[in-house]
Amino acid sequence: MTTSPTGRPAFDLIRGHVLASTFAALDMTGSLTRLADEGLTAAEAGANRFLSEGLFRYLSQRGVLRAEGDRYHLTELGRSLYEDRGYLVWLAGGYSEPLRRFGDMLTGTAAYRREVLRDGKWVAVGSALLGKQDVQPEVVKLLSGLEFDRVADIGCGNAHFLITLHDQLGCRGLGVDISPEAVAEARREVEAAGKSGVIDVVEADGSDIASIQGLEDVQLAITFFFLHEVYEKGFDALVAYLRALTERLPAGAHVLTAEVTAAPSSTATDDVFGPEFALVHAVMGQHLLDADGWSRAFTEAGLTVKALVRPAMPDGLLVLAQKAV
């Protein structure tokens, strides 16, 4: 943090933490889109009128909302936060508990997966929101020249991208996720979109290729923000996973991944998002690769890297690779 609006950086951090948590909460309770579209009264934001009035007063004091009579609307700052709300939901909804218990994990009195877990549902929802804005446009460009009628999304989250692909290209989809919360959310979204007959979502460990049925019938396999979990076991394990995936796919099939690349090894970095992404994944014992590392992993697995693209997502990377025809 190079500058401080208040002159006391600790209070800037307090402001950011409370703003991120409360703004994300509005989205997680279903109020934020209505607030963005038509405005809301405090009474419409929740059953606890005292708390909702306090929240709207606070967000107005911080320049996020403006009042017109008893109805509140987003300001320009609020609109900017709304566009990036996926990152806030991903962090505040998905990782609030691991960050709260950070000290316990640091000292070894608690361990991730044993006493501490992230919230898979909100990681999935937040990832879908931020992906739709900052990743999906470049993905659509990459896929526009490919031919495929069935796609598998490994680590599918809430299945929004599979829904989008069917809307735009008419392809059938298979979604795989290890999180029961994410799978339940995905199935609700698929049913709500009227696509239960064309998109299947299964709860399975995407890192176990042998357990995923139907890969021989897909022409495109997608792994968005998933392969770093495989890399947790080491570079050789990542290559072995990609090789196993490649062997299951038909000739000429494509693999598309999206990841956040590692921040520079120097302690001084201007990266917008990479260091924070790296730290919350260090909680889970996971490491990140740089662009050269991802390219090398796909190549060593026997795939031909067709494109490396930087999407709008800060520090993000898209890798498109193909199995030999």
Is residue 105 one of the residues assigned to a domain?
Answer: no
Query: Is residue 77 domain-shared with residue 132, that is, in the same domain?
Result: no
Query: Is residue 145 domain-shared with residue 258, that is, in the same domain?
Result: yes
What is the DSSP track for 283-314? TTT-----HHHHHHHHHHTTPEEEEEE--SST
pLDDT at 2: 56
Query: Is residue 43 domain-shared with residue 150, that is, in the same domain?
Result: no
The β-bridge partners of 255 are 221, 321
Query: Is residue 40 domain-shared with residue 149, that is, in the same domain?
Result: no
- CA dist 238 and 90 (Å) reads 25
Q: Please state, as a whole number, how many other Cβ atoms lie within 10 Å of the Cβ of residue 271.
A: 16
- CA dist 45 and 55 (Å) reads 9
Say what the pTM is: 0.86
Query: Is residue 54 domain-shared with residue 202, that is, in the same domain?
Result: no
pLDDT at 265: 59
Name the residue among 290, 283, 286, 295 with its Cα closest to residue 320. Answer: 295
What is the extent of the structural domain holding 232?
120-322
Is residue 94 one of the residues assigned to a domain?
Answer: no
pLDDT at 200: 93
What is the DSSP track for 75-99? -HHHHHHHHTHHHHIIIIIHSHHHH
pLDDT at 4: 77
Is residue 233 one of the residues assigned to a domain?
Answer: yes
**pLDDT tens track, the chain, 325 positions:** 457 777 899 999 999 999 999 999 999 999 999 999 999 999 999 999 999 999 999 999 999 999 999 999 999 999 999 999 999 999 999 999 999 999 999 999 999 999 999 998 899 889 889 988 999 999 988 998 898 999 999 989 889 889 998 998 889 999 999 888 889 989 999 999 999 989 999 998 999 999 898 899 999 999 998 898 899 899 999 999 999 999 999 999 999 999 998 866 556 567 788 889 989 999 998 888 999 999 999 999 999 999 999 999 999 999 999 999 9
- CA dist 131 and 85 (Å) reads 11
Query: Is residue 235 domain-shared with residue 132, that is, in the same domain?
Result: yes
Is residue 292 one of the residues assigned to a domain?
Answer: yes
Ramachandran angles phi, psi of 261, nearest 5° = -85, 160
Domain count, the chain: 2
Q: The domain spanning residue 37 has which CATH number?
A: 1.10.10.10
26 and 85 in contact (C-beta within 8 Å)? Answer: no
pLDDT at 269: 65
Name the residue among 310, 306, 238 with its Cα closest to residue 274. Answer: 310
Query: Is residue 70 domain-shared with residue 130, that is, in the same domain?
Result: no
Is residue 16 one of the residues assigned to a domain?
Answer: yes
pLDDT at 264: 65
Query: Is residue 124 domain-shared with residue 53, that is, in the same domain?
Result: no
- CA dist 82 and 129 (Å) reads 10
pLDDT at 301: 97
Query: Is residue 62 domain-shared with residue 131, that is, in the same domain?
Result: no
Is residue 128 one of the residues assigned to a domain?
Answer: yes
What SS3 class is residue 72?
Answer: strand
Query: Is residue 125 domain-shared with residue 217, that is, in the same domain?
Result: yes
Instruction: Report pLDDT digits (tens) over 10-29.
Output: 999 999 999 999 999 999 99
Query: Is residue 173 domain-shared with residue 28, that is, in the same domain?
Result: no
Is residue 89 one of the residues assigned to a domain?
Answer: no
- CA dist 183 and 172 (Å) reads 17
Is residue 214 one of the residues assigned to a domain?
Answer: yes
Query: Is residue 223 domain-shared with residue 152, that is, in the same domain?
Result: yes
Q: The domain spanning residue 127 has which CATH number?
A: 3.40.50.150
Name the residue among 123, 107, 199 with its Cα closest to residue 161. Answer: 199
pLDDT at 223: 94
